[in-house]
Amino acid sequence: MGDAAHAELLDHEVYQKPFKVEPEFEQRDTPANYRDRHLGDDKLPDKMKVWRVQNTGKTSGSVVARSYGFTDSPDAEVLALGFNHGKEYGAVGVGRHGNFLQWGYSAPPSKMTDAGKKFFVNCVCYIKRFDGKAPLVRTRSSHRLDALRLATLINRIKDKEFFSRSFSSDLMEKYQGDPNGLVQYYKTDFELIYRDKVYRIDSELKALGINSNRSVHTLERLIALLQDKAHADTARGLLARYTNESFGSAEQWQQWLTANRDRIFFSDVGGYKFFVAPKGYLLPDSR
């Protein structure tokens, strides 16, 4: 990443107080890497609106975090999208995970722009609100979007070992030389992707007619199926796959769900599991 941030997100409160951050904008050509890594069906614009956070004059030296799954848990948020020439559009230049705020820009204050300085001071004030709020999840896996990103590369990277932790050998054989086919395979059942050594489609959920592994409704369905002798064992196995709980009875599962329903979230990055945010953890205005 160089000196600039994208103009999105400026309505976040971290740009409003104590200083109003009022950047001066520029239009920059859309980096080739953005197009290369773009997973959506839409077309990226030719120019993008950015603002300078610092003035080092370099196009690298600062750092962004990957965007895939960054916000799949309520303890993390993006504060600035970093304009970069290495990763995807949306990669995180300034972001928060729990009590940590990562400022991806490299320069000291004397080389920050006026707006950059104000943004930095605001970040110091903003992160104070999250004192004592350690992260709820840690990075244990990669997000399901990575399955699509890596699938686009199977023709470009010749080292088969590179994909050994991403795709099963059966899939690699089936889609040899056909990255679009592999991408489509995962896109078709995107909501059912999970990781067990490699990216898989959850055929057990699919067979039960459940179309997502990350919806709280799925938990409801699985807990209900515990009462159904024909499907109870499968449901129990799936609850073990997608939660860190191990209740013995359907009633206990139901009690857990009822008590925590408003605070349950699913995180790919956290390991393709449902988690419960502790009571009082989420701040009213933090998201």
Q: Summarize as ranges the residues that interact with other proteins (CB under 8 A).
A: 7, 18-20, 22-27, 49, 51-52, 55, 57, 61-63, 65-66, 69-70, 73, 76, 92, 95-114, 117-118, 121, 123-125, 127-135, 138-140, 269
DSSP string, 175-229: TTT-HHHHHHHHHHTGGGEEEESEEEE-HHHHHTT---SS-HHHHHHHHHHTT-T
| Residues 6+ away with beta carbon under 8 Å from 224 | none
Our CB check for other proteins shows the closer of 92 and 235 to be 92
Our CB check for other proteins shows the closer of 89 and 175 to be 89
- CB of 110 vs other proteins, minimal distance in Å: 5
- CB of 51 vs other proteins, minimal distance in Å: 8
Our CB check for other proteins shows the closer of 91 and 257 to be 91
Our CB check for other proteins shows the closer of 77 and 202 to be 77
Our CB check for other proteins shows the closer of 69 and 90 to be 69
- CB of 49 vs other proteins, minimal distance in Å: 6
Q: What is the largest CA-CA distance in the chain?
A: 68
- CB of 73 vs other proteins, minimal distance in Å: 8
Q: Where do we find the tokens 């992260």?
A: 135
Bridge partners (DSSP) listed for residue 27 = 49
DSSP state of 111: G
CA–CA gap between residue 22 and residue 262 (Å, rounded): 36
- CB of 60 vs other proteins, minimal distance in Å: 9
Our CB check for other proteins shows the closer of 153 and 208 to be 153
| CB of 181 closer than 8 Å to CB of 167 | no
CA–CA gap between residue 287 and residue 285 (Å, rounded): 6
- CB of 105 vs other proteins, minimal distance in Å: 7
- CB of 106 vs other proteins, minimal distance in Å: 3
Encoding tokens for residue 169?
């050998």
CA–CA gap between residue 87 and residue 64 (Å, rounded): 8
- CB of 166 vs other proteins, minimal distance in Å: 15
CA–CA gap between residue 4 and residue 24 (Å, rounded): 11
Run of H or E including 96: strand 92-97
CA end-to-end distance (rounded Å), the chain: 25
Our CB check for other proteins shows the closer of 81 and 239 to be 81
Our CB check for other proteins shows the closer of 31 and 98 to be 98
| CB of 21 closer than 8 Å to CB of 10 | yes
CA–CA gap between residue 9 and residue 176 (Å, rounded): 40
